[in-house]
Amino acid sequence: MPSLTSATALPRRPVLADALPQARVRDATLVLAGALLTALLAQVEVHVPPSPVPVTGQTLAVGLVGATLGARRGAASLALYALLGLFLPFYAGGESGWHVISGASGGYIVGFVFAAAAVGWLAERGADRRALAAFAAFVVGQLIVFAFGLAGLKLAVGESWGWTIHNGFSIFIVGGLIKALVGALVLPSAWTLVRRFEGR
């Protein structure tokens, strides 16, 4: 098993975004596109009472954006999403404003930035090119989201840790695994298409 030192010494590999030309315009466009994708998938929501946090497509977007754009651009994209949501109806259910960040869902939104960075870092080391590694990267990203989300939920609602973990994590496990599976299927397939296109 490789040590932490050897793992961090792995060279950065191109992510899907690097296959596009004109770096500056490309990066700005893709960072904005990632924020808009997250806002779009945030509107796919299912409420699971009594949890105040809905199941949404946001964490799928976080994984896809992080893996596709890489650590730096992925984190910037989700930070832009969080910022735009303060003024525009970008959060789940078309909500906006500081009250969302300070409420039950706020910790999850903050966690999106760090999760995208982590998934992007793993993708830069080739995790998005193999199904099992992509699945693991998505799981890591979602665990980061939940770590921030649970802390924010606990502060917002003041319930016990047992209630918080059940209503902020346990009921979302199956959905999270399905999203990780989607990522494991989509990302290696996208690389296959890129290689075929470049081989023409």
- Any idea what the CATH number is for the domain that residue 106 is in? 1.10.1760.20
Is 3 a domain residue? no
Domain limits for position 138: 15-193
Structure-token pair, residue 140:
């890591």
Structure-token pair, residue 163:
């209630």
- For the entire predicted model, the pTM comes to 0.88
Residues 6+ apart with CB under 8 A from 88: 39, 96
Is 150 a domain residue? yes
Is 4 a domain residue? no
Q: How far apart are alpha carbons 34 and 198 in whole angstroms?
A: 24
Kindly state the helix (H) or strand (E) to which residue 45 belongs, with its residue range. Answer: strand 45-46
Q: State which amino acid sits at residue 141.
A: G
Instruction: Give the count of domains, the chain.
Output: 1
Does residue 61 register a pLDDT over 90? yes
Looking at every residue in the chain, the average pLDDT score rounds to 91
Kindly state the helix (H) or strand (E) to which residue 170 belongs, with its residue range. Answer: none
Instruction: State the virtual CA torsion across 135, 141, 128, 8 in degrees, nearest 10.
Output: -120
Q: How far apart are alpha carbons 20 and 82 in whole angstroms?
A: 26
Is 10 a domain residue? no
Is 179 a domain residue? yes
Is 95 a domain residue? yes
Closest CA to 32 of 88, 99, 114: 88
Rounded mean pLDDT of 192-196? 84
Rounded mean pLDDT of 25-46? 94
